[in-house]
Amino acid sequence: MKSEFDPRSLFSISYGLYIASSYSGDRLNGQIVNTVFQVTASPPRISVCINKENLTHDFISESGVFGVSVLDETAPMTLIGTFGFRSGRDANKFENVGYKAGTTGAPLVTEHVLSVLEAKVVDAMSVGTHTIFVGDLLSGEVLATGSALTYDYYHKHLKGKTPKNAPSYIESESKQEKIEPEKGANR
C-alpha cells in the first residue's frame, strides 16, 4: 500500500508556536513546541507532543504536569532561540526571561505571550520518537491581546529554522540551509 509521498504536502498543516514547560524539584525547563491543541471540550483537555530525548519530556513525565505559554508575533528570535535551540541540560533557560510559577509549579513565560495554560497529565501515548501527553486543564489565563505566532509566520517573517528534534523536521532543510542544530538542541 506504500505509495507516493511528497514532503511538501505536510507544509500546509497549520501550527502555532508555544513554550511547553515543567519542573523537577527546583529545576525549571521549557522548550518550543508547535504541537499544542485542545482535544476535548468536556472536560477541557489539551495535548502536547514532545521528543523523548528532551529534558522537558523527562520533567513532564516526572512531575505529571505541564505549562503552555502561547507566543505572540512580537516574540523575538532571542526568546525563541533560548527555548528552541538550547538544552536545559546546559543552562537555566528561565534565567533572563520573564515568567511566573503556575499553580502546578510549572514555569509560565509572561513576555511576548498571549495566554498561559496548565494541565495535569491524564494519559500519554508513545508515538515513536515522541510522546503525546494529554492533560486536564487546571488553569488558563489571558495575559495580552494580539496575534498568535504561527509556524507559518515564523518561517516566512522570522526566517526561522526547524530544530532537529521537532516533529516537522526535514533533513534536507538543514542541508540546504547549511545549518544543523545540535541533535536534541530543542530540549
If one asks whether residue 7 binds a second copy (CB under 8 A), the answer comes out as yes
Smallest gap from residue 39 Cβ to a second copy (A): 5
User: Three-state DSSP class for 110?
Assistant: coil
Report the candidate in 96, 92, 91, 66 with the shortest Cα–Cα distance to residue 79.
96
From the list 91, 101, 142, 179, which residue makes contact with a second copy (rule: CB under 8 A)? 142
10 binds a second copy (CB under 8 A): yes
Q: Which of 111, 125, 147 is nearest to 30 (CA)?
A: 111
For a second copy, give the closer residue by CB, 6 or 26: 6
Q: Is 1 among the residues that bind a second copy (CB under 8 A)?
A: yes
Residue closer to a second copy, measured from CB, 61 or 115:
115
The DSSP 8-state label assigned to residue 13 in this structure reads: -
Comparing C-alpha atoms, which of 96, 122, 107 is closest to residue 31? 107
Does 4 interact with a second copy (rule: CB under 8 A)? yes
Residues 15-34 that bind a second copy (CB under 8 A): 15-16, 34
Q: Is 179 in the site for a second copy (CB under 8 A)?
A: no
**CB distance 93 to 82 below 8 Å:** yes
Contact in structure between 35 and 167 (CB atoms under 8 Å):
yes
Q: 121 pairs with which residues across the strands?
A: 135
Is the Cβ of residue 51 or residue 87 nearer to a second copy in the bound state?
Answer: 51
Cell 525549571 belongs to: 28
8 binds a second copy (CB under 8 A): yes
Is position 177 an interface residue for a second copy (rule: CB under 8 A)? Answer: no
Question: CA–CA separation, 113 vs 146, rounded Å?
Answer: 9
Interacting residues with a second copy (CB under 8 A): 1-16, 34-47, 49, 70, 72, 103-104, 114-118, 120, 123, 125, 127-130, 132, 134, 137-142, 148, 150-152, 166-170
